[in-house]
Amino acid sequence: MTTTPTLPNPTDLWQATLQWQPTDNLQPRFEQLYGAIVAINQTLNLTRITSPEDFWEKHLWDSLQGVAPWLSDPALATQPLTVVDIGTGGGFPGLPLALAFPHWTVTLMDATRKKIAALQQVSAQLSLDNVHFLAERAEQVGHQPVLRESFDLALLRAVGSTNTCAEYALPLTRLGGQAILYRGQWSAQEEDSLIAILPRLGGQLREVRAVTTPITQGVRHNVIIDKTSRTPDKFPRLPGIPAKSPLV
């Protein structure tokens, strides 16, 4: 059996960037997650980010920074949210959030059944009981009456263009909820194009939060969209269309 190297736990960086740090109970859970993902990754390609420093910064820290207000604001920290992670891949951002917020219910969705099966295995190894799984496409789940407009938060990281992600997320977000798109670079054109299509999906841009990753100084932008009115039944469009022909 190979042992996974120990993850860093730079409490000063957690504090300086997110005004938060993992409890003594949570840090070993992050270690377990890292070990389980790296082990499965030997047979199924879940992620290319596997060194301890990279995993810490690009998976753990990055997953958590997108929901920073819920970490640092005591009034938000105790809210029991329902969250969907659309196109979760190797479980990011969903799995670190399920660990850090045991009072949230996190649904991991991915179109690739094998990935979801692997995440079920990881979650069982970690005895996570607040995680649900959907091996389906966002375009299909978005039309399921029980799930449509039901989630407090819809999260997407590295799944497609901004407008594609908005079309996946808003049909699943409840009125008054938020969609949070984890993006890298961001441009004025991208922002204008998003603002132009959001009314059609029932969304309104709240803010774009620029963030720098704490070790390699990478560029991140969190695009936060409020769900302000019902999404028309025609969205999301048929499978494949939102990615092939994003709304303009």
Candidate list 159, 179, 225, 247; residue touching ligand SAH; CB under 6 A: 159
Candidate list 29, 157, 183, 220; residue touching ligand SAH; CB under 6 A: 157
Nearest distance from C-beta of residue 25 to ligand SAH, angstroms? 25
With beta carbons less than 8 A apart as the criterion, state whether 155 and 234 touch: no
Query: Which residue, judged by CB position, is nearest to ligand SAH in the bound state?
Result: 89
Nearest distance from C-beta of residue 219 to ligand SAH, angstroms? 15
**Which residue's CB is nearer to ligand SAH, number 215 or number 228?**
215
Q: What are phi and psi of 202, to 5 degrees?
A: 85, 25
**Which residue's CB is nearer to ligand SAH, number 104 or number 168?**
168
Q: Binding to ligand SAH (CB under 6 A): which residues in 88-127?
A: 88-90, 92, 109-112, 115
Q: Binding to ligand SAH (CB under 6 A): which residues in 225-244?
A: none
What CA–CA distance (Å, rounded) separates 231 from 198? 10
Candidates 28-36, 75-83, 155-163, 198-206; binding stretch for ligand SAH (CB under 6 A): 155-163
**Which residue's CB is nearer to ligand SAH, number 70 or number 168?**
168
**Which residue's CB is nearer to ligand SAH, number 23 or number 48?**
48
Nearest distance from C-beta of residue 58 to ligand SAH, angstroms? 8
Establish if 214 lies at the interface with ligand SAH (CB under 6 A).
no
What CA–CA distance (Å, rounded) separates 90 from 110? 9
The DSSP annotation for the chain comes to -PPPPPPP--HHHHHHHHS----TTHHHHHHHHHHHHHHHHTTS---S--SHHHIIIIIIIHHHHTTHHHHH-HHHHT---EEEEET-TTTTTHHHHHHH-TTSEEEEE-S-HHHHHHHHHHHHHTT--SEEEE-S-HHHHTT-TTTTT-EEEEEEESSS-HHHHHHHHGGGEEEEEEEEEEESS--HHHHHHHHHHHHHHTEEEEEEEEEE-TTT--EEEEEEEEE-SPPPTT-S-STTHHHHS---
Nearest distance from C-beta of residue 179 to ligand SAH, angstroms? 14
Q: Binding to ligand SAH (CB under 6 A): which residues in 122-151?
A: 137-139
Nearest distance from C-beta of residue 24 to ligand SAH, angstroms? 27
Contact residues: ligand SAH, CB under 6 A: 86-90, 92, 109-112, 115, 137-139, 157-159
